[in-house]
Structure 1
């Protein structure tokens, strides 16, 4: 019972709600997905529900994809469902859904902490011959502290983490593994 709308001995009218029943063994998330992802999202696709109340995501799947695009928002609705047998997730909670849309075997990711952004330009830095090299990059959407590298870092094996205060051409020494 989620809530009670009447008290013992109270007179009720036909159709008047007395209780609100909540089935909490499964939770359903409804959200909007931008139109550009329409071809990537399908019923039964694997997903995760993320709650600010818990550090770990909850396994889920796409239960329904709307057959229409909202012309105002240029997005479509999806319903994502997850088992909630322990009752940890509460109906009405704020959640974020991540829908698995496929994998790329050759995708390269960089940590968000390695990215500097200024005036709308995203940059990462590497070291070549003991000098800092700046790279303008194009990045994908963030995921778990990482960003997919879409363009701009060909032939580079590693990037500088937390490059604040560095600029292209500065002389640097690469520390041994473990920050030593």
Structure 2
């Protein structure tokens, strides 16, 4: 019995030992196999770093305003006889817009002119008597004063009559009429808006840090979100103070609007053009990878063959952005070959194969750029 037990224990030990030995042997073979495997090179897009001419600028959001734009108001109340314009008519300076009933004012003007005529006749007689030495000087002075008073009354009556005829103060485009013929209106009531659309003002704000680079006459470009409107202009005004609440500086520019594609109140994107800079290192924004540790770019190292090219992950310091490119102030130099897309599968030291015939940029990212 004991002999059988000993034989069973020996056989069990042999089986267990064989299993353990096979496990270690298998793991060692797998490690050797995997250790000898070289992963295939990763296909990437790449381009050499080259100094470029940088066109810096300041981007802002603006609102369009007409260079001349007013709400036309009634100067004197009364009954409207005629409305001599239609919505969106182009009017000229001095063109009559509205005629208000002026019969009473015409009568008052006629009465004042008649009184002036009588006063001048009295002055003439007083002057004749004074020249003959038979009239008192005070009589002539009183007659002259009566002429001046009558002339003033004529001017007052003429002014009241003129207020019944409303004319365009400048050339532009008239808006929708807000009054009708036969309507009784009061003084101060707005009857339409008049906007000169030939040139437009654009009001916008920039951070106080940019105040030093702003200058009168500086070039600006404005674009609208609708209508594909684009125009260039110049800065015509810079507020001489910083808003203490927003730390922004108000700026005004003027642009041509000969096509009439821009109207007051529109949302605009504004870019202030600054002097060009030569020799700036700028790379596609897709070449930069950002993480908690900083911004990095993969630089391709030279190899004996195309299949032996490797990448090195380099930390960089970034600067300004413009369009789809970003300035790099430290980390890379002109002539370096950098990965512009496909780096999401890379690690430092990985082998790469440059293939610019295929766009490796994700579709959504391409559209966003």
1:66 aligned to 2:239? yes
| CA–CA separation in structure 2 for the residues paired with 1:159 and 1:93 | 42
Name structure 1 gaps, 5 residues minimum. none
Structure with higher helix content: 2
- Cα RMSD of the aligned pairs, angstroms, is 2.5
Q: Does 1:173 align with 2:346?
A: no
Call closer, same or farther: CA 1:65–1:151 in 2, change over 3 Å: farther
TM-score, reference length from structure 1: 0.84
Following the alignment from structure 2 to structure 1, what is the Cα–Cα distance between the partners of residues 280 and 200? 32
CA contact (8 A) 2:297 2:314 kept: yes
If the length of structure 2 is used for normalisation, what is the TM-score?
Answer: 0.44
Rate the CA distance shift 1:164–1:155 in 2: closer, same or farther, 3 A.
same
Matched, 1:20 2:193: yes
Q: 1:77 is matched with which residue? A: 250
Q: CA–CA distance in 2 between the matches of 1:18 and 1:56?
A: 30
Matched, 1:8 2:187: no
Deviation at 1:5, TM superposition (A): 5.8
Single out whichever of 127-136 and 75-84 deviates more from structure 2. 127-136
State the partner residue of 2:267.
94
Aligned to 2:295: 122
Pick the structure with greater CA Rg: 2
Give the number of equivalent residue pairs: 179
1:153 and 1:51 mapped to 2: Cα distance?
37
Corresponding residue to 1:136 among 296, 315, 319: 315
Return the offset for 1:57. 4.2
Cα distance, 1:55 vs structure 2: 5.5
Secondary structure, counterpart of 2:338 in structure 1:
coil
Larger RCO: 1 or 2 (CA < 8 Å, sep 6+): 2
Q: Retained in 2: the 8 A contact 1:125–1:132? A: yes
More displaced 10-residue stretch of structure 1: 27-36 or 129-138: 129-138
Conservation of the 8 A alpha-carbon contact between 1:46 and 1:100: yes
**Mapped partners of 1:99, 1:38: distance in 2:** 12
Could you tell me which residue of structure 2 aligns to residue 150 of structure 1? 329
SS at match of 2:354: coil
Distance 1:85 1:158, change over 3 A: farther
Structure 2: which 5+ residue stretches go unaligned?
Answer: 1-172, 303-308, 360-369
What is the CA–CA distance in structure 2 between the aligned matches of 1:73 and 1:17, rounded to whole Å?
Answer: 35
Against the structure 1 CA distance between its residues 56 and 84, is the aligned structure 2 distance closer, same or farther, given a 3 Å change threshold?
closer
Q: Which moved more, 1:104-113 or 1:77-86?
A: 104-113
